[in-house]
Chains A and B, each alone.
Chain A
Amino acid sequence: MIERPVERRAPLPPVLGRRVELLGLLAFVLFAVVAFRLWYLQILTGHRNVSLANANVARDIAIPAPRGEIVDRQGRVIANVRSAAIAAIVCKELPATAAARASLYSRVGQVLKIPESQIAKTVGRCDSFAPVTLEADIPSAALVFLAEHKAAFPGLIEEQSDIRNYPDGTLAAQVLGYVGDLSRSEEADQNFAGVPAGDVVGQSGLEYTYDRYLRGRDGVERIQVDAAGVPTGRDLRGTLPTTGDSLVTSLDLPLEQEGLRAMQTAMHLAHLNGYPASAAAFTAIDPRNGQVLAMGSLPAYDPNVLSRPYISQSQYAQQGAGDAFINRAISSVFPTGSTFKPIASLAALSSGLITPSSLLGATGAGGCLNISHQAFCNSGHVDYGASDLAHALEVSEDTYFYEVGALANSRGPLIQDIAHQLGLGAPTGIDLPNEVSGYVPSAAADARLDREYMKAECTHGKHGAFCTSGGPIPPWTIGQNVQLATGQGQLQASPIQMAVAYSVLANGGYVVTPHIGLAVDSPTGKLVETLPAPKRRAIPRTEAANIPAILAGLHLAAQAPSGTSYDVFGSFPRTVYGKTGTAQTVTGNPHDNQSWYVCYAPDPKRPIVVAVTVERGGFGDQAAAPAARMILAKWFGLPERVVRGTGTTF
Chain B
Amino acid sequence: MAVRVLPRNERTVSLRALPLISFDPLIALAAGGLGACSLVVLHGAAPAYVSRQAIYLAVGFVVMLSASRLDYWRLRSIKWLLYPLMIGSILLVIGAGSAVNGASRALSIGGVSFQASELGKVLLIVFLAALVADSPRKASATELTLKVVAFALIPAALVIAEPDLGSGLVYFAIAFAVLFVAGIPARQLTVLALIAVGAFVFALVIAPAIGLHVLKHYQEQRLTGFLSPSQNPNSYDHQQVESVIGVGAGEGTGRGAGATQTTLGLVGTEAPTDFIFTVVGERLGFAGAAFVLSLYALIIWRTLRIIGAARNLFAALIAGGAVAMLMFQVFVNVGMTIGIMPITGVTLPLLSYGGSSVLTTFLTLGLLQSIYGQARAASAPRSRALRV
Contact = CB atoms under 8 A, between A and B. Distances in A.
Interface stretch (B158-166, B204-212, B304-312, B349-357): B304-312
Given A15-B183, A38-B281, A38-B290, A46 B251 contact: yes
Contacts of B182: 13
Contacts of B132: 10
From B183, B242, B255, name the one whose CB has the most chain A CB atoms within 10 angstroms.
B183
Interface in B264-322: 265-266, 281-282, 285-286, 289-290, 293, 297, 300-301, 304, 307-308, 310, 312-314, 316, 320
Interface stretch (A24-32, A352-360, A376-384, A600-608): A24-32
A37 B226 CA distance: 14
Interface in A21-61: 22-24, 26-27, 30-31, 33-35, 37-39, 41-43, 45-50, 52-54, 56-58
A437 B227 CA distance: 71
A24 B305 CA distance: 10
A364 to B, nearest CB: 85
Contacts of A236: 233, 238, 266
Contacts of B177: 23
B247 interface: yes
A7 B11 contact: yes
B249 interface: yes
B183 A14 contact: yes
A30 B323 contact: no
Nearest to A49: B248
A541 interface: no
B140 interface: no
B365 to A, nearest CB: 16
Interface in B224-258: 231, 233-234, 238, 242, 244-252, 255
Contacts of B252: 42-43, 46
Interface in B313-370: 313-314, 316, 320, 323, 327, 331, 334-335, 338-340
Contact of B313 (A9, A15, A34): A9
A12 interface: yes
Contacts of B259: 53
Contact of A9 (B5, B312, B327): B312
Nearest to B328: A30
A272 B263 CA distance: 75
Given A9-B313, A34-B331, A54-B262, A20 B246 contact: no
Nearest to B297: A31
B74 interface: no
Contacts of B307: 16, 20, 23
A8 B245 contact: no
A42 B327 CA distance: 23
B183 A52 contact: no
B338 A26 contact: no
A479 to B, nearest CB: 70
A58 B4 CA distance: 73
B133 interface: yes
A30 B331 contact: yes
Contacts of B339: 37
Contact of A42 (B3, B180, B286, B308): B286
Contacts of A27: 297, 300-301, 304, 323, 327
Contact of B233 (A10, A16, A45, A237): A237
B143 interface: no
B335 A34 contact: yes
B290 to A, nearest CB: 7
B266 A46 contact: no
Interface residues of B, number: 63
A23 B245 contact: no
A236 B266 CA distance: 9
Contacts of B313: 9-13
Contacts of A54: 249, 262
From A10, A48, A54, name the one whose CB has the most chain B CB atoms within 10 angstroms.
A10
Contact of B249 (A11, A38, A49): A49
A57 B338 contact: no
A38 B338 contact: yes
B14 interface: no
Contacts of A14: 183
B135 interface: yes
From A9, A15, A33, name the one whose CB has the most chain B CB atoms within 10 angstroms.
A9
Contacts of B134: 10
B215 interface: no
Contact of B4 (A5, A41, A53): A5
Interface string A510-545: 000000000000000000000000000000000000
A46 to B, nearest CB: 4
A234 interface: yes
A43 B250 CA distance: 9
A420 interface: no
A19 interface: yes
Given A10-B137, A35-B290, A38-B290, A23 B304 contact: yes
A6 interface: yes
A19 B183 contact: yes
Given A23-B323, A34-B335, A53 B316 contact: no
A636 B211 CA distance: 61
A10 B312 CA distance: 7
A323 interface: no
Contact of B238 (A8, A31, A237): A237
A17 interface: yes
A42 B312 contact: no
A54 B4 CA distance: 72
Interface string B129-166: 00011110100000000000000000000000000000
A235 interface: yes
B286 A53 contact: no
10 contacts: A10-B137, A11-B313, A17-B308, A37-B339, A38-B293, A42-B247, A43-B251, A49-B247, A53-B248, A224-B233
Interface of B: 3-6, 10-11, 132-135, 137, 177, 180-183, 231, 233-234, 238, 242, 244-252, 255, 259, 262-263, 265-266, 281-282, 285-286, 289-290, 293, 297, 300-301, 304, 307-308, 310, 312-314, 316, 320, 323, 327, 331, 334-335, 338-340
Q: Which 9 A-B residue pairings sit nearest by Cβ, starting from the closest?
A: A13-B183, A49-B248, A53-B249, A46-B251, A41-B248, A42-B286, A10-B313, A49-B249, A236-B233
Given A12-B313, A27-B323, A34-B338, 4 more contacts: A8-B11, A23-B180, A37-B335, A53-B245
